[in-house]
Structure 1
Amino acid sequence: MTSTTKEVDIEILPYIRVYKDGSVERPEDAPFSPPTPDQDPETGVSSKDITISENPSVSARLYLPKLTDHTQNQKLPILVYFHGGGFFMESAFSSLYHRYLNSIVSQVHVLAISVEYRIAPEHPLPAAYEDSWAGLQWVASQSAGNDKEPWLINNGDFERIFVGGDSAGANIAHNMAMRAGVESLPCGVKILGAYLVHPYFFSSKTYGSESMEGHEMSLPYVAWNFVYPSATGGVDNPMLNPEGPGAPSLTGLGCDRMLVCVAGKDLAIKERGIWYFDMVRKSGWKGDVELFEVEEEDHNFHICNIESENAKAMVKRLASFIFM
């Protein structure tokens, strides 16, 4: 008799298990949620899915807040959003992120594009970075006004484009801002601001209260080697360690302002968020960077519990950042 038990190759519990036959399980992933083109019943936000690229496969979900007769032709700030999940789980189309994007779009009154990038291990990094850049380029290209996306053309303000994300998505937002400082976006479009929530950064050297004992077995360390096994320098690759060997100067950030958010109980990466904030502040970058800390909360609390008072306070902070 042959055994029906599959052999595990790699696992990062409780998040992901990879079997030697190549199959992957993600027990913690939220279920898929369809878009609501006829308005979400709770928020009034309309959403729809679009294809950015066929090969590679890159798509996104667009969100438009409820408009009245008075605001029908109002130009709204554009938020290009990158979901979290360590580069190996979650989706722009999951119920968790669909609910979160509906919430911030309705409260902040922005037009949002949540990019569905490819994830590891099926698609190791740098695939997620390339897909995210393709998404940002696609948004910028809409400013020419001759493409097929009326929501962006009619209601998007291409003078007010923001990139944002949480955890790994915040890391992507940073790297998109860095790339935009070197490579021009279509139609001369610029990023106005970057919104980094509980950003995922790390290095081989410990920082703050981190201990060298077990450092290489910590989740940020293990996850990076899992999602980007070919990364030059490992966890000191400039995409993860902005002061690693060969890292470009942060003075090259291609945006005018930045908001970095951390959570007091987010023990794995809170101090790394502050580390990053201090690096940007001391770099000589000409933009404005702010730090916002919620002391009594944990990683991504604002997405998992959007009704909490602290989550609402974060939305207000985002609104003031965008409309300052």
Structure 2
Amino acid sequence: MDSIYTRTATAAPNTKEITMEIPTFLRIYKDGTIERLQESPMVPPTLEDPTTATSSKDVVISNNPLISARLYLPKLTPTHENNLNKVPILVYFHGGGFFFESAFSQLHHKYTNLFVSVTHVLVVSVEYRLAPETPLPAAYDDCWEALKWVARNKTEAWLMKHGDLNRVFIGGDSAGANIVHSMAMRAGVEALPCGVKVYGAFVSHPYFYGSKAIGSEAVAGHEESVSFVVWNFVYPSAPGGVDNPMINPLVHGASGLAGIGCCKLLVCTAERDELRDRAILYYEAVKESGWQGEVELFQVEDEDHVFHIHHPQTENAFKMLKRFADFLRN
């Protein structure tokens, strides 16, 4: 399965001419080389992680285009092994601004192992295509294909034996949370195969933005902010730019949030997350939209954007894990 790990992004010597840069995140050189500055190294799956006892393996969802995933299975009790009690399925979308990080990265692999050991769910962590090699909306299409693959799958042993298709969740952090919103909206208007439905969704520190600054966002230099620049970089053809409904779900003309295609939603944010006010505004808009599901807001004090991914063993990160466990298991 070496092809799963193929990435055109490689480090480049400092002597090369830089043609485009997002400081501390990415450089593109004149010869086309792309250097992702914050991407953690790729790591293989583990049959049984020595710390968490979580098992993982990689699967190919599609060869054209190449879409793959890393599956995670918690350590099962005899009841689960006897197939008397299946576990919820979480289709997970990693963060990274749509242009870096991976389902196979050390950062997300370590976090997901711990996540699965605490929540006791089966995770399908999707490896979608990244910009700039493949600009948006490709990542959205890849994630929808992955969700359909889970719904119709009749061959993958872990899903067949241990996954509960009556309790399929979607979740993600940052850009992955942005994808979750789009998948939930799409599930409201487009049926998944085999009658499978999305039961619930969580958006963790979602990457939402807009052309007008809100709350704590700085009005001066708003258009030079990282969030603004990144969106135009990963989706240069987006109608409306940073006010496209994919990045600004509350913009005039966006599909109504009453159409969210699941029955429960958890919105997570952190006190020092620069995107916090967008997350809270989204939560309030869902609550007031007339949507028939249950929406909850979970905030962590004195923490920054996706702190739980970078520091998963802190006290506050464990608070988030326990909240996720309650959401997914109840």
**Match for residue 212 of structure 2?**
205
**Match for residue 284 of structure 1?**
290
Task: Give the CA deviation at 1:4.
Answer: 8.8
Task: Give the CA deviation at 1:282.
Answer: 1.0
Quick check: 1:22 aligned with 2:32? yes
| TM-score, normalised relative to structure 1 | 0.95
**Match for residue 19 of structure 2?**
9
Letter in 1 for 2:66: S
Correspondent of 2:97 among 43, 61, 86? 86
**Match for residue 241 of structure 2?**
234
Quick check: 1:258 aligned with 2:269? no
1:107-256 matches, cutoff 5 A: 107-142=118-153, 147-256=154-263
**Which digits, 9 at most, give the CA deviation of each residue in 1:185-204, with x for residues without a partner?**
00111101111110000111
**Which digits, 9 at most, give the CA deviation of each residue in 1:254-284, with x for residues without a partner?**
0101000001011x20111111111111111
Letter in 2 for 1:127: A
Quick check: 1:100 aligned with 2:106? no
- For residues 240 and 252 of structure 2, the distance between their equivalents in structure 1, rounded to whole angstroms, comes to 8
Letter in 2 for 1:140: A
Task: Give the CA deviation at 1:55.
Answer: 0.6
Task: Give the CA deviation at 1:10.
Answer: 1.2
Task: Give the CA deviation at 1:148.
Answer: 1.7
1:44-83 matches, cutoff 5 A: 44-72=53-81, 73=83, 74-83=85-94
Task: Give the CA deviation at 1:245.
Answer: 3.6
- For residues 220 and 195 of structure 2, the distance between their equivalents in structure 1, rounded to whole angstroms, comes to 48
Consecutive aligned runs of 4 or more in structure 1 exceeding 4 Å deviation: none
* Alpha-carbon contact 2:80-2:162 (below 8 Å) kept: no
Letter in 1 for 2:127: E
Task: Give the CA deviation at 1:69.
Answer: 2.3
- For residues 270 and 179 of structure 2, the distance between their equivalents in structure 1, rounded to whole angstroms, comes to 19
> What runs of 5+ residues in structure 1 fail to find an aligned partner?
none
- For residues 191 and 39 of structure 1, the distance between their equivalents in structure 2, rounded to whole angstroms, comes to 29
How many residues in Structure 1 have an aligned counterpart in Structure 2? 316
SS at match of 2:198: coil
**Match for residue 308 of structure 1?**
314
Letter in 1 for 2:17: E
* Alpha-carbon contact 2:250-2:282 (below 8 Å) kept: no
Does 98-107 or 208-217 show the bigger shift? 208-217
Task: Give the CA deviation at 1:70.
Answer: 2.8
SS at match of 1:274: helix
Letter in 1 for 2:30: K
* Alpha-carbon contact 1:30-1:90 (below 8 Å) kept: yes
- For residues 234 and 261 of structure 2, the distance between their equivalents in structure 1, rounded to whole angstroms, comes to 26
Letter in 1 for 2:276: K
- For residues 162 and 83 of structure 1, the distance between their equivalents in structure 2, rounded to whole angstroms, comes to 14
* Alpha-carbon contact 1:166-1:199 (below 8 Å) kept: yes
SS at match of 1:260: strand
* Alpha-carbon contact 1:237-1:245 (below 8 Å) kept: no
> What runs of 5+ residues in structure 2 fail to find an aligned partner?
1-12
- For residues 99 and 154 of structure 1, the distance between their equivalents in structure 2, rounded to whole angstroms, comes to 25
**Which digits, 9 at most, give the CA deviation of each residue in 1:35-84, with x for residues without a partner?**
01x21111111110000000111000000111132321230000000000
Task: Give the CA deviation at 1:22.
Answer: 1.5
Correspondent of 2:302 among 296, 311, 316? 296
Task: Give the CA deviation at 1:89.
Answer: 0.5
Letter in 1 for 2:105: S
